[in-house]
Each structure stands twice: as C-alpha cells, then as structure tokens.
Amino acid sequence: MTSPLPSSPAASVLDLASAPVVPVVVVEDAADAVPLARALVAGGLAAIEVTLRTPAALDAIREISGAVPEAVVGAGTVITPEQVTACGAAGARFLVSPGWTDALLTAMRASGLPFLPGVSTTSEVVALLERGVREMKFFPAQAAGGTAYLRSLAGPLPQARFCPTGGIGPDNALDYLTLPNVGCVGGSWMVPADAVAARDWARIEGLARTASYLRAEGGTCR
C-alpha cells in the first residue's frame, strides 16, 4: 500500500507495518458510518478502508472524516481518476484500487494521498516496480494463488511488499502476515454484515480488538 497510516498529508507511500489488519468496510447506510468507525477504533483498528461499492460510500467517508478524527479513513475499490478526486474531496486519507492503469496511477499520484494499487500477476508487479511503486495490494489473494504465490515472489522480487485482500479471514490471516513480503492484510471478518445490519457495535468492537492482536510474531485472531 502506498500507507494506510500516512506519515504526512503529502506522503505517497503507505507504511504497511503500521496497521497489520485493515478492515474492509461496505457501508449501505451513511448513518452507520460514524458508530461503525468508532467501534473499530475502540477495538484498536484505526485504519479503515471504506469501499466504493455502494451509493453511501462517499458520504460515509465524509462522515467518518469529520466526526472520528482518530480514524484513518481511506477509500477502496477506486477504479477511475474521477473517483480519486471525489474521494479526496470527501476526506479520504488513502486510496486502494483492485487493479491499476497508467491513468489511474497518475491520478492517485497527483492526489497527494497515499495509495495502494492492486496486482494479481508477476507482470503487474514488475510494471509497478518500473514506475517506482513498491507497496501494492494483492487481490484477490486466495483466488490468485494465496500464500504460496506470494512466497514465490519474495525471491525474485524482494523489493515488492503487499497487502493481500480477498478471501482472508481469521483462519488464514496469520499465514499471510508471517511472509517476509507482506506488511498487512485487509479483510471484513471483523465487520460481518449481520452485525452491521443489527447495529451491534459492541460485537464489532470485540472482533476488531481480537484482530488487532494479530501480529506476524505470533498473535492470533481467533
């Protein structure tokens, strides 16, 4: 990721190790955004990726940015330059894409926000390295080869670091975090849809707290 927790407003690189687990959040109702973010922050997960999969996403980012300053809210599923602009205007502090093009990469760089372009093949990784990008989203992680694939990239491409998302949960997150080229993982297991629908913020806080203990040196997210 070019850093869920940016070191400065102008930073273009994400410090993957600063947030071992990044919640990937789908918000259907913007009214849920603030209590959801507060539950995640209370549970120890301050870097929050709100995906642009619903009409409420930009409003959710705006609400969290204004009302939960301790959260580092970013935008996920960013696929167009226009979305880059809209996310920045809404208060997003980092950008995540499932894939990338030169136009999208240019827009993300021009935004001044930290960004994490998505890859799923070796050629895409090499192309980003040519363009000076070393931190990337690996998506869809499980479907694209999982830990075995990432482990095989560590030898020839040790300079590339990844935030895998897609198919990651409490049973395999630690397997990814023990890899030398993985700085963090993204997932939604701490924000299950039924808990969000029921507005069970206490349950979400508890799941986040458990996930926040996950560390490459031997934590658990069970």
* Residue linked to tokens 């259907």: 28
* Residue linked to tokens 């926000």: 113
Rounded CA-CA distance 207/185 in Å is 15
Q: State how beta strands 47-51 and 72-76 pair.
A: parallel
**Structure tokens given for 213:** 């203990």
Nearest to 104 by CA among 124, 84, 88, 89: 84
Rounded CA-CA distance 96/99 in Å is 9
Q: What is the CA radius of gyration of the chain?
A: 16
**C-alpha separations of 42 from 39, 170, 204, 214 in Å:** 5, 19, 10, 16
Active site members: 49, 137
